[in-house]
Every structure is written in structure tokens, then in C-alpha cells.
Structure 1
């Protein structure tokens, strides 16, 4: 008997009718001979509503109390879905993250999962129950409730699938799968049948919102097949898996992503001596600020410039940190800019095909789009551009790599 883990996002359980539809789909999966664990997010925009409610009380709510508040959203969803499945006549049990043994680090707001104890889950499955689990939440060793940050329910689902050694983790969303670009921006974008963990991880971290990056990391680490599907139909979606030879032969660029949640900070006239970069980035790390692109200019007069990007949500905190470091090291100046976007291409075929980056840069030049920063890896090229240019850049790049058109996606899952 296969173990299937299914995750349904907020839009899939946004109201009573949608919850009933999810219940029927879950029951169908069990009727097919599977043991089923379901992870659900909070209903619709209820998390945002809770955040707004907290802001009506105080401008600076404590992180612990915010976790206590936000964790209630998923508890509503799991209880209602369990009621809907029970009404259909099937044994079901709803459980919170802490109740199923999701152990996290002691960080409020964006904790990482440290371990999942599958004992209770396996016991309840063996008893014939369908298990409904609250996503997005866990608890520390001393019982403090924590949340996993935006998209944390994806991470919950893959972590539970890994702990149970599930046959597949199905992520149900309001789209049919992973596309070569955002279909809202590029109407002729194609759905991919398959994509590698590495490519999906890059796309997720570069702005594609179908999967949370941490969930893909866990999928790769534990070999969990992830199937991204629509909760509104039964069509096959996109399978995220390890690379196979035939996949690698097919693709040069598998997708174009963009991210508007980008801010750039520049520190000027920085003394060129050992330990300066360490001081700067250690200070940012201590505030749990993730730094993305980093550029250091050529030295002049024993000084240089350092520029880097962070997410906009961290900009104010990051600027305060950099200002303190600037004073401590005697740097000359500080600037920042939040009117930016990051546009990226991803594809395993870049490793063996020269000229991919040049083709991207040529396309941007032809469109009159200025590139402010560049970062590369074996399977990606990212450029920071003005926010107003992002959508036009995505459309032009998608076309230049021949990812659009009426040709169907080939058998390996990539545009022909």
C-alpha cells in the first residue's frame, strides 16, 4: 500500500465548497488503495487578515505572539477538512504540527524544521485513518509554537513525506504545474512535465512561486518525488525529480523567472583589508538577513566598493546594520535602492552549451534594458534590472530562447 502525502494551499481551501471538493479528492486517493496524509494551509487570505488584525493592536507585535496567532489559521483549515471527510463516511483525524512531532529550531517567524517524528503518523495510518496536518507550524524542544515563514506548508508536506518514506508528495495549487515562465506574463509559456530538483530549486529561489525553496531542498536531500498539480482538475502536473540522462540532453533553458522582492545596498570607499567583509556579512547574518548577489569592485587607493542584494522586507534592518558597520570600518558612504527586480534563466543544459549568458545579455541590450548586477552558477544566470523593465525582460528572454509558440511540450517535459 502506497503512502501519498498531499498538500493543499490556501486558495484550495478558501471556502466551504472548496474544502468539500478537497475532501472528495482526498477520499478518492484513499479509495485507490493508498494511505493518505494531507497538509493544508490557512484558508484563503486568512493569514494576511490575522497579520492586519495584529497591526490594529500594535505596530510592533512580539514574534512569539505572532506565531501563536498565525498558527491558528491552519488549525481552522484542518478541523473543517476533517469534518468534511468525516461527513463522507471515512475515518479521519486532524493534528497540529506539534502533535505530529514537527521539531523546529527556536526562531519565530521563519523557523527551520529540524526533525519529524513519524511514529504517531504511522500509527494512525495503520489504524486506517486519513490524517490531516496543519502546515506552516511546529514546536521547539521546550514546546514553543513556531511558524516556518511564507510557503512553509510546502516544507511541512515534503518533510512529512520524507519522514514517512512516502511514495510521492503531491503539491496541489491553483496552477497546472511548473511553467517555462509565469503564464500571467507570458501567455504562451509551457507547462513542464518534468524538471530536476536543482532547476526547481533555482527557479523557486529566483521568484517562481509554485514551490517554496526549502521544500525542494528537502525533496532533493531525501529523494522525495514532488508532483505539482492543480487542485481544480485531475490533469497530470509537473514531476520534480533527480536528473536523468534524457532530461539533460533535452534542455538548454528550462525556465525564466523574475523577482520583484529585491533591494540593493551599496557600501562605498571600503578599506581594503582582511576582515572587513567578514564583519559586514557576519553582522547581517546575526540579524538573519539572507544576502543574495555580492559584487566587490576593483581596488583603488586601497579602497573598494561592495554592493549586495537582500529581500525588500529586510531592507530597513539591513541598512541599519550596514550603517553601523560603515562607521566602525570608516567606509565613505552608503546607498540603497528598492526599485529593482531580478530576472533569471535556469537550465541544466547551460553546463555544456557556451553562449547562453551572452544570448541573454544580447536580448536585454536589444530591448534597451540596463543590467545593474549579474550572478551566475552552472545552471543559472541572474540579472538585476529596474523593476519597470522586469516583465518586458521576461517576455523577450522567453521568446529569444524559443520557449514560446504553439509547439507542444516534448516527452521529456521541455519545450520543443
Structure 2
């Protein structure tokens, strides 16, 4: 098989761990597989490089920052290739540019435009293990770019598509995708299989196993993903487009603590006003999520919506230019609890069970949003973990 593997920062966090990863790769090679390995920077290195830059400037040039930050992944790829050669295997380390990753010119958050896999394919023909620095590429001007958060996962999936790999394995410090965070609910169960759509919902709702951009790309390219731990030999979780034969209705419960609610009061209840408000936010690239409008009296209404808590200040700043008659309030003492499952499409009563379970435990629901396979509920922050546990119990996800 032709396999792309990706190892995250924790998996390659020390020289000893890089050595263990090299031995794991060697074992897969001995099984007759062709391997392309994408690596992140060693744990903590990227943050240290940012600290170095901020010593000289609190607002460093994004172009120069990309040059600096991309070095972390190149260090890891070089060390891993050296380790593999020492074990007796043919290996070659590539930067993003050498691997043929072409991006746009949006430094620190570039998007992959195409991949020229010529160098990778030539190395594979020579029976080499190809080790690629993730998180980076090159733009049309020849400048180094980085892909932003989750960039190494994205690199791995894109490369898997370009070389028509049979499988893309994402190695992290957890065994796979669980029904919920095991640190919150000890009876959380690892899922053997999950659909792209379910994983997309969980990734966007706070599950940190995979970044949603990489799952979106895997779905688009129809690439089978497996997420598993680099610290043991346990089977991971397969993420695929194939439908389950007769699986669980609900796949998981997610908790997102990075939430804040904004309420705008005394909004004129007439066409175009809400559009004006959200146009202002869109120009700031604010990620507005749940929206609710309450019709008031005397021709005015209240509009409430949620944003990531780390975007609250920029949101309030953008709204400060609104009409003085508007009153803007915010609350960051909230969390979002979400129930996700492909089975919602064909089963009724899922939402009712969630609402009933929360009510029995005295948890007030502040906002609700739904999709075909998701129910998201805003509750007071102190009830977040309790909500996860009781919903996990209610849907019997421990079985």
C-alpha cells in the first residue's frame, strides 16, 4: 500500500520520540508499504520561535514570520530522515517547496493551490521513505508560506490526494476519536469508524483530534483517514465517506469552551438592519455562529449571536461604530454543548431527549441551533462538563 503518515508535535516532541517514530515507520516499511511521512515541529518549538520574533517586534512581518516558523518542521523532517538512514533505510527529507506544495500568498494562513508530486514520486520509485516538513509551501513569488492552525494535517491530506495514496494516517497523542473527551467522562468510548460529516461537526465544535480543514479536504478528495496514537499499537478511528451498516444514532458529545454571546438591543425591526450589522462583522472576519432574534415592542428587536471568545474584543470594537440607539452587551461565561450523529437524519426524538435531560438536572438552555446531524446548545459555563456527562449517559454512548 501507498500510505501517507503524519506525526504531530507531541509525537516528535523529543529526540527519543523521533527515534521511536523512526522505528514505527521502519516496521510499516518492512510490511511492504511505500511511505510518505509528514511531520510537525517538535512540541514547543513553534511557540519558542514566535517568542524570538516578538523579542524584536510585537507585530513582525508575516512574510518573515513564515520564513522563521517553517524552520521548525524542517528541523524535524531532517532529524527523522537521519534517524531512518541510521536504521538502514533509504530516506530523504523535503521542505514544502521541495515537495511541490504551491500556495497562495496569504502569509501565516495560506491555502494550498496545487501540489506537483514529481519529486515525491521519483523518490518513491527509488524505494525511499519521503519525509516532508508539514505546515508550509511556497507561493508564485518563491516566498515560503505557512498554512496556519492544523497546517501539517492539511499538508498530509493534500499530499495523499496528489500521490493517490491508499490511506492517510494521522498520529497524535490519543488513540482516536472518542464519544466525548475522556477527561470529562471516564466511560467515553473510542469509535472504530466515523463519517466525514460527523468528524467535521465534532472538529468544528471543539474536538481537537483533527482540524476541520483537513477533514473537509479528505472528504472532497475521498481519502480514507485514520487517526491513532503514536505511543501504542492500538487501532485508531477510521474516518470515511462510507455509510455505517447499522451504527449508533449518536456518535459523540462535544464541548466548546471558546464561546461568547453578544446581544444587541433596541435594533430597528425593519429590513436591512441585521444585514448591516453582520456585514460589519464579516469585514472583520468574525466567525459568527448561533443567531437568534427576539421581536420586541414599539418596532424594535434584540439580536443575539455567539462568536469565539478569543474574537470577542474585535467583535465589540467593530460594533462600537453602530448607531448610538443600539445597546451592546456580551457574556463570555457560556459554553456550547453539541450532540452529533448521522442517525439524526432518520430518527426522531433526539432533541427532545437532550432538552429533557438538561431540564431534569436544572440546566437552563440559553440558545439552540441545529443541522441535519447536530444539535448545539448554549449553557452557563459551570454546567458544561455536567451537561456532557448526563447527555453521554442519556444516549448510552458508553455501550
- Matched with 1:381 is 375
> Which residue in 1 is equivalent to 2:48?
49
| SS of structure 1 residue aligned to 2:368 | strand
Aligned-residue offset at 1:262: 1.3
Q: Provide Cα deviations, 1:301-350, integer angstroms capped at 9, x if missing partner.
A: 333222222222222222212222x13xx551112222221111100111
Q: How does 1:25-64 map to 2 (within 5 A)?
A: 25-64=24-63
Q: 1:338 aligns with which of 332, 338, 349?
A: 332
Of residues 350, 355, 365 in structure 2, which corresponds to 1:361? 355
Q: Equivalent of 1:319, from 316, 319, 329?
A: 316
Query: Which one of the candidate residues 275, 281, 291 is aligned to 2:272?
Result: 275
The structure-2 alpha-carbon separation of the partners of 1:106 and 1:266, relative to structure 1 and needing over 3 Å to count, comes to farther
CA distance in 1, matches of 2:71, 2:114: 22
Q: Does structure 2 conserve the Cα–Cα contact (< 8 Å) formed by 1:271 and 1:331?
A: no
Between the aligned partners of 2:34 and 2:276, the Cα distance in structure 1 is 51
What TM-score do the two structures reach when normalised by structure 1?
A: 0.91
SS state of the match for residue 199, structure 2?
helix
Equivalent pair of 1:267/1:331 in contact (CA under 8 Å): no
Residues 131-140 or 201-210, more deviating:
131-140
The secondary structure found in structure 2 opposite 1:243 is coil
Q: Separation in 1 of the partners of 2:303 and 2:103?
A: 34
Matched, 1:254 2:248: no
- Report if the CA contact (8 A) 2:269-2:295 is conserved: no
- In the alignment, structure 2 segments of 5+ residues that lack a partner are none
Cα–Cα, structure 1 residues 105 and 267, in superposed 2: closer, same or farther, change >3 Å? farther
Name whichever of 3-12 and 127-136 sits farther off.
127-136
CA distance in 2, matches of 1:96, 1:238: 29
Provide, for residues 66-107 of structure 1, a one-character-per-residue CA deviation record: whole Å limited to 9, x for no partner. 322222211111111111111112111111222222222332
Q: 1:68 to 1:315 in 2, by over 3 A?
A: farther
Q: What is the distance in 2 between the residues matched to 1:96 and 1:15?
A: 20
Q: Secondary structure at the match of 1:75?
A: helix
Query: Quick one: structure 1 residues 289 and 110, their matched pair in 2 at CA, closer, same or farther if it must change by over 3 Å?
Result: farther
Task: Return 155-164 or 93-102, whichever deviates more.
Answer: 93-102
Match of 2:131 in 1: 132
> For 1:267-304, what per-residue CA distance to the aligned partner results, in whole angstroms no more than 9, with x for missing partners?
22222333333333333233322222122222543332
Once the 2 structures are TM-superposed, how far is the Cα of residue 245 of structure 1 from its aligned partner? 4.9
Given that residues 105 and 145 in structure 2 are in contact (C-alpha distance below 8 angstroms), is that contact kept between their aligned partners in structure 1?
yes
- 1:119 corresponds to which residue? 118
5+ residue gaps in structure 1? Answer: 405-414
In the other structure, the counterpart of 1:94 is 93
Q: Indicate if the aligned counterparts of 2:40 and 2:134 stay in contact, CA closer than 8 A.
A: yes
1: CA distance, partners of 2:333 / 2:64: 32
d(CA) in 2 for partners of 1:368, 1:308: 23
Q: Report which stretch shifted further, 232-241 or 137-146.
A: 137-146
Q: Secondary structure at the match of 2:257?
A: strand
CA distance in structure 1 between the partners assigned to 2:214 and 2:128 by the alignment? 25
Cα 1:391–1:57 change in 2 (3 A) is: farther
Please identify runs of 4+ aligned residues in structure 1 that moved more than 6 A.
none
Secondary structure of 1:86's partner? helix
Task: Note if contact 2:157-2:168 (Cα within 8 Å) is conserved in structure 1.
Answer: yes
TM-superposed CA distance for 1:402, in Å, is 0.8
Shift of 1:364: 1.5
Other-structure match for 1:409: none
- Which deviates further from its counterpart, 330-339 or 149-158? 330-339
The Cα offsets for residues 33-64 of structure 1, whole Å up to 9 and x where unpaired, read as 22111011110122222233333333333333
3-state SS of 1:201 partner:
helix
1:236-255 to structure 2, matched below 5 A, reads: 236-246=235-245, 249-255=246-252
Query: Which residue number corresponds to residue 9 of structure 1?
Result: 8
Residue 390 of structure 1 corresponds to 384
Q: Does the residue aligned with 2:32 lie in a helix, a strand or coil?
A: coil
Q: Contact 1:7 / 1:170 at 8 angstroms: preserved in 2?
A: yes
TM-score, scaled relative to structure 2: 0.95
Secondary structure in 2 matching 1:176: coil
Report the counterpart of residue 260 of structure 2 in structure 1: 263
State the number of aligned residues: 399
